[in-house]
Amino acid sequence: SPRSTDTNLPIGPRTAEFRLDSSIGTSEAQPIAPDGKPIFITRNEQRVYELRYAFAEDSNQPVELSLPADHLGAGRFRQIEWSSAPLRLGWLRRSTGDLVAMIHDPQEEVLGWAPCSLSGDANLNAIAVSKTPDGTRDVLYCVVRREINGQEVRYVEVQAPFYADVVAAGDPADAIP
């Protein structure tokens, strides 16, 4: 419907126009917003940015989170999901069919990236994060394509809690086989 020219109307979907303007651009992947700060994959699908508000400039400032691991963007990021418990992790699915983990905690000034291997000859098609029934931790679900006995099949698989062995062992060095 056409925009109203009446200047006495409150701001709303029929009286305001919002555009997504950016020199960086965003991909079609749904962004995440841990702690209310948007994290998104760029238009070229090779970088990941977080928008932070800067009081001094009274504006949002983009911060490139993928800079320390820019080589991982060569596989093009296609999807991003967030898990907050027990660890603050961003999970990224790449066009190459593999998984990348981003540990991110700006309060503690922690940022790290790691490629994650899938068991066997697998190709990652989609990811999703959901809480356990008791709400104590987040679980990463993966739709994985595999070839079994010459047939292409897809499975929904759950990422094993990689930190469980470390916690149970007490000393992280004891968890290494």
Place of tokens 């356990």: 132
> 6-29 pLDDT, tens per residue?
566 676 666 655 544 457 888 889
Q: HSE (CB half, 13 Å, CA atoms) of 61?
A: 8
C-alpha to C-alpha distance for 163 and 116, rounded to whole angstroms: 14
pLDDT in tens, 45-81: 999 999 887 778 777 788 899 999 989 988 899 999 9
d(CA 45, CA 43) in angstroms, rounded, equals 5
Q: Report how far residue 89's alpha carbon sits from residue 75's, in angstroms, rounded to the nearest whole number.
A: 19
Widest Cα–Cα separation across the chain: 71
Record the pTM.
0.76
